[in-house]
Structure 1
Amino acid sequence: MVNFLLMISAELENITNLQPQGGCDDPNFTYYFKLKCGNCGEITQKETCVTLNETVPSAKGRSETNLAQKCKFCSRDGTVSMIPGRGHPLTQELAETGKYAPLMLFDCRGYEPVDFLFGSGWKAESIEGTKFNDIDLSEGEFSEYDEKGECPVMISNLRASFDVVK
C-alpha cells in the first residue's frame, strides 16, 4: 500500500484560495490522471477519473474503493481509493513562494498516479473578495477582470505532482 498526495501549484495574480468547487473534499469533483502499473510499468493511454461519491467493490470483493481495474498490458489488478481530509486551498502566499498545496490523498495498490490533468469545476476568490466559480483550467490558465476590486485576476503556470506519504 502506497499513499500519494496530489500537490498543486500555480502563479496567482490578485487571486487566492484555488480549490475544487465544493472544497477540497468535494464528493462530486472529478480527478483526472494517468496510472502507471506497479508490475509492468505500463502507463494508461487515456486518463482515469475518480470521484469521492463513486465507489466499486475491490477486486477481492472485501471492501469498497473508488477505482478497480486491470492493467491492459499484464492483466494485474489494481485499486485507487481516495482519502479525504488532507486537502487545502492554494493560497496566494503559497503560490508566491513557489510552494505546493495538498489537494487529495490517494491509496494506490498496484498503480501509481502520474500526469494530473486540470479540468473544470474549480473556484477561487480575488484578493478583494470577489468569488469566481466554475473555473475551467483545462486550457492551462484562467483570466478575468474583478469589477468590484477593479483589477485583473489570473491563474497560470499550473503544476501538479504526486508525493509519496506514509
Structure 2
Amino acid sequence: MVKFLFQITAELENLTDLQPQDGCDDPNFSYLFKLKCERCGEVSQRETCVSLNETVPLPVGKGTANLIQKCKFCERDGMIMMHPGRGKPLTQETSEARQFAPLMMFECRGYEPVDYVFGGGWKAKSLSGTNFENIDLSAGEFVEYDEKGEYPVMISNLQAAFVVSS
C-alpha cells in the first residue's frame, strides 16, 4: 500500500489556521477527489467522497477501510484507509512562506488520489481573533470583512497536493 499525505496551501489575507470545521481530524469532513486506477490508469469521471466516520469491512480478513471501490474499466477493487493525527492548520506564516500544510494521510491500494475538489466545511481565524466558520471554498476563494479588526479577510489561490509519504 502507498501512503499519500494530503496537503493544502493558499494565500491568506489577515487570516490564519485554515482547516476543516472541527479540526484536521474532523470525522464528518468529506474529502472530495478523483481516483486513478493503478492497474489501468483510468481516472474516475466523478469525485469520490471519503470521510473518517464512514467505514466498510474489508472483503478479505479483518479490519475496515474508509472506501472500497471497483474500477469501472478494469473491475479491479481498490481501497482507501484514512490515518488521522498528522494534520496541521494552514497558518499565515506557512502561507507567506508558500509552503503546504498537511491535513490527512491516505493509505491506498489499487488507487491513487488525484484532483482534489475544495468545498464547504472549512474554518479560519482572523488576526484579530474573529472566527469564520462554515467557509465554502468551492468558488476557489473566500472574501469577508472582519468587523472587530476593521479589515478585509480573504483566502485565494487555493492549491492541493497528494505527496507520497512513508
The TM-score normalised by the length of structure 2 is 0.99
Kindly state the Cα deviation for residue 63 of structure 1 after the two structures are TM-superposed: 1.7
Coordinate RMSD, CA, aligned? 0.7
For residues 1-166 of structure 1, what are the structure 2 equivalents within 5 Å?
1-166=1-166
Identity across matched positions, percent: 67
Q: Distance in 1 between matches of 2:159 and 2:102?
A: 12
Kindly state the Cα deviation for residue 61 of structure 1 after the two structures are TM-superposed: 4.9
Query: 1:20-62: CA deviations, max 9, x gaps?
Result: 0000000000000000001000000000001101100123253
Which residue identity is paired with 2:9?
Answer: S
Q: Distance in 2 between matches of 1:108 and 1:63?
A: 15
Which residue identity is paired with 1:158?
Answer: L
Q: Distance in 2 between matches of 1:29 and 1:106?
A: 14
Structure 1 unpaired stretches of 5+: none
Which residue identity is paired with 2:155?
Answer: I
Runs of 4+ in 1 over 3 A off after TM superposition: none
**Is contact 1:52-1:82 (8 Å) kept?**
yes
Q: Distance in 2 between matches of 1:120 and 1:139?
A: 10
Q: Distance in 2 between matches of 1:119 and 1:161?
A: 15
Structure 2 unpaired stretches of 5+: none
How many residues align? The count is 166
Which residue identity is paired with 1:47?
Answer: E
Q: Distance in 2 between matches of 1:113 and 1:37?
A: 9
Q: Distance in 1 between matches of 2:41 and 2:119?
A: 26
Which residue identity is paired with 2:51?
Answer: T
Q: Distance in 2 between matches of 1:127 and 1:133?
A: 15
